[in-house]
Chain A
Amino acid sequence: MNSRSKLAAAPYLLWMIVFIVVPLILIAVFAFTTSVTCDAEGNLLTEEELSEYLAECEENEVEPELTERTVFTIKNILDVSKYSTVLINSAWLALIATAICLVIAYPLAYMISRMFYTRQKLALMLVMLPMWMNFLLRTYAWMTLLEKNGLINRLLGLIGIAPLNMINTQGAVVLGMIYNYLPFMVMPLYSVMTKIDDRTIEAAQDLGANGWQVVSRVIMPLSMPGVASGITMVFVPSVSTFIISRMLGGGTNMLVGDLIDLQFLGNAYNPNLGAAISLVLMVFIFLCMSITNQLDNEDMEGVLL
């Protein structure tokens, strides 16, 4: 890289350091520290010593002199395992949402990429259209649709079907994720597929590949990078969402995002545990991503060779 292109990258580099690297370091620091109560000299107090000291102060009617100190600990990380069901539940719902998104988006993206150019623009705009609306409003609209006295149930009532219990279920949460993140799956798939030359497909057909073989041996391998980034872009926000589960899940299905939210804005203010959960979530997502990336790389090699 020459020096001029380095210079051009400098603003983003600075941005990355200030708003990505520093916060990440802060999260790590918070996750591995905790504040403990010490006496005036800065010696650590056990809980018994502390209550003894406080009782003594009350007796003598003096203000207790205590200081707080931040010490290294791995207790926060260990505490996260208490919430492993929450983490697994979130991952499970996000996985379902991602899989369904992929199944819906794949044929859709292929269809769009094979359309006439102006139609492509129109179709893409239709896919992106919901994104022009505020995220909260979109989710709120689903609440009105799915509610007991909501639009869907009223329509069903008109044709004599008993009302369904749709809102406040895990299904509703998954639906919310799919609806909100589907465009994130369609876009990368489309952008990869639109680069697949029609002639490549024709060549495969000329060489005797049937419909399925064209899909499995030409289109699928060539679109793998799109699949990988689509999975990333849907899975990551899904697994850490909190507002969808609160609005559509009725707060009864706590997801890991809600749990983190609770640590910062809940009753027990515990940013250390919150940071630890975030860190675990990040590692978890990183692992998942490394799996998808591997898939992608191998396939690309396979195609190239």
Chain B
Amino acid sequence: MKRRIAALALAAALIPTLAVFTSADDTIPYSNSVDWDKFRGENITLNVYNWGEYISVDEGGEDDFDTNREFEKLTGIKVNYTNFATNEELYAKLKSGGASYDVIIPSDYMIARMINEDMLEELDYSNIPNYDALIMDRYKGLEYDPEERYSVPYTVGMVGLIYNTTFVDEEDLGSWDILWNEKYANEILMFSNSRDAFAIACKYLGYSMNTTDEKELRAAANALTDQKLLVQAYVMDEIFDKMTGGEAALAPYYAGDAITMINDNPDLAYIVPREGTNLFVDAMCIPKGAKNKEAAELYINFMCETRTALANIEYICYSTPQREVMDYLDPELASNPICYPDDEILDNTEVFIALPNATTKLMDELWTSILTANSTDPWTIPVFLVGCLGLSIGINVFRARKKKANGQ
């Protein structure tokens, strides 16, 4: 989900892949189930809003596939492509009404929330034939969009535990409880966003990560407060440097990014704890107020094309929900258990759903108090007050003396 990835490392890792497979790439034709030329000459511009580093671009390589340029060539529709860094940023942008987009790619729970708040347009799947033809059934009708009305999956992934094999003992692994193991005090990194952090605490305690029960949430908050003494830092993107540089031994993070980190530092390894984990889906949607809904659907269909999806997934290293891509994918990537784990692991996952407002508010409140609980010295307030008092008395005395001196 959060992925302002170190693009260069990723690109470096992918160059051999592309070199081998672009020949196959070129031979994959676009399907002709839709009329790609429908909007040619109408001078339409599509506003696409996606995560950073989340689409195949031309980086100067000989056979690099530039998704948006290919789309422009194929359909004659211009693409105005912009990035966001978090789901919440996307939400705030749309909610404030400051911008108009035609295609957005939020994550599961944000999609559910937007559906709840009537922010998404229903898709006309007859304009997106690739959805029925090519998207794996496993990723259809998930909890965030149970009736399959608003979204088309783009990528999937899960959260796992990244660890440094030189610091972590094999026998401690296997459960989320290692993040509460005192042996690794000050060696643990943790998510700095409340939703992911609470999800891990809930799984550790055996609750659902979508719990709305206040007692369970408070128990999770207590667990996180206990954990804080062992946590070195709460991070998002900083994790790349800290894990590859050996600053920390353990960190939960997203599977696709784990591959990037392991490529940079072979001492790192990845495991999915047995309690299960979070499966996330980033899916393409059309927000309310989109100006070119049909063209946007054409774009979504294009993104599901085998050729496009293959280029994108090889670029971003996440897992694909597109059936045919697996046939063309670099066997090394396709057989990588981090990206494409066994069904057993996949079945033991939960997808985030939108939580009620009261629950998200409580969660953020608890999260704030976790992050501030131990950091404030109890003497801070008295010292601060005395300081302020001293200052104001000082100033007044000073002024009085000055006045007296002047009066003389």
Binding site for B on A (CB under 8 A): 82-83, 85-86, 88-89, 91-92, 95, 143, 147-149, 165, 167-168, 170, 246-247, 250-254, 258-259, 262, 264-271, 291, 294-295, 298-299, 301-302, 305
Contact = CB atoms under 8 A, between A and B. Distances in A.
Interface in B113-133: none
B207 interface: no
B360 A265 contact: no
8 contacts: A250-B231, A250-B235, A251-B371, A262-B368, A269-B91, A301-B402, A302-B402, A302-B406
Contacts of A167: 233
Interface stretch (B39-47, B312-320, B334-342, B387-395): B387-395
Interface stretch (B8-16, B286-294, B297-305, B376-384): B376-384
| A-B pairs, 4 with minimum CB distance | A250-B233, A251-B234, A268-B364, A254-B371
A147 B368 contact: no
B368 A149 contact: no
Given A95-B387, A265-B92, A305-B406, A85 B372 contact: yes
Nearest to A68: B117
A88 B380 contact: yes
Contacts of B391: 291
A92 B380 contact: yes
A267 B368 contact: no
Contact of B375 (A254, A265, A269, A270): A254
A211 B194 CA distance: 57
Given A147-B245, A298-B402, A252 B384 contact: no
Contact of A295 (B241, B374, B395): B395
B4 to A, nearest CB: 12
Nearest to A248: B233
Contacts of B231: 250, 252
A86 B368 contact: yes
Nearest to B229: A252
Nearest to A263: B364
Nearest to B245: A149
B26 interface: no
B89 A265 contact: yes
Contact of B384 (A83, A88, A246): A88
B399 interface: yes
A299 B401 CA distance: 11
Interface residues of B, number: 49
A252 B234 contact: yes
Nearest to B392: A291
Nearest to B242: A147
A168 B194 contact: no
Contacts of B399: 294, 298
B307 interface: no
A247 B376 contact: no
B246 interface: yes
B195 interface: yes
A271 B96 CA distance: 10
B348 interface: no
Contacts of B246: 149
Given A266-B193, A268-B360, A295-B395, A251 B233 contact: yes
B361 A89 contact: no
Contacts of B384: 88, 91-92, 95
Contacts of B38: none
Contacts of A147: 242, 245, 247
A89 B376 contact: yes
A230 B335 CA distance: 60
Listed residue (A91, A148, A271, A291) with the most chain B CB atoms within 10 angstroms of its CB: A148
A298 B92 contact: no
A267 to B, nearest CB: 5
B380 A266 contact: no
B57 to A, nearest CB: 23
A170 B375 contact: yes
A247 B88 CA distance: 20
Contacts of A91: 384
A178 B357 CA distance: 39
A265 B363 CA distance: 14
Nearest to B194: A267
B95 to A, nearest CB: 7
Contact of B363 (A247, A254, A267): A267
A168 B229 CA distance: 12
B83 interface: no
Contacts of B208: none
Nearest to B360: A268
Given A253-B375, A291-B395, A295-B395, A269 B95 contact: yes
Listed residue (A92, A251, A291) with the most chain B CB atoms within 10 angstroms of its CB: A251
A86 B370 CA distance: 12
Nearest to A165: B186
Given A147-B245, A149-B246, A250-B232, A89 B372 contact: yes
A170 B406 CA distance: 44
Contacts of A148: 247
A83 B233 contact: no
B328 interface: no
B238 interface: yes
A295 B357 CA distance: 47
B2 to A, nearest CB: 12
Contact of A252 (B194, B233, B368, B405): B233
A267 B88 CA distance: 7
Nearest to A287: B388
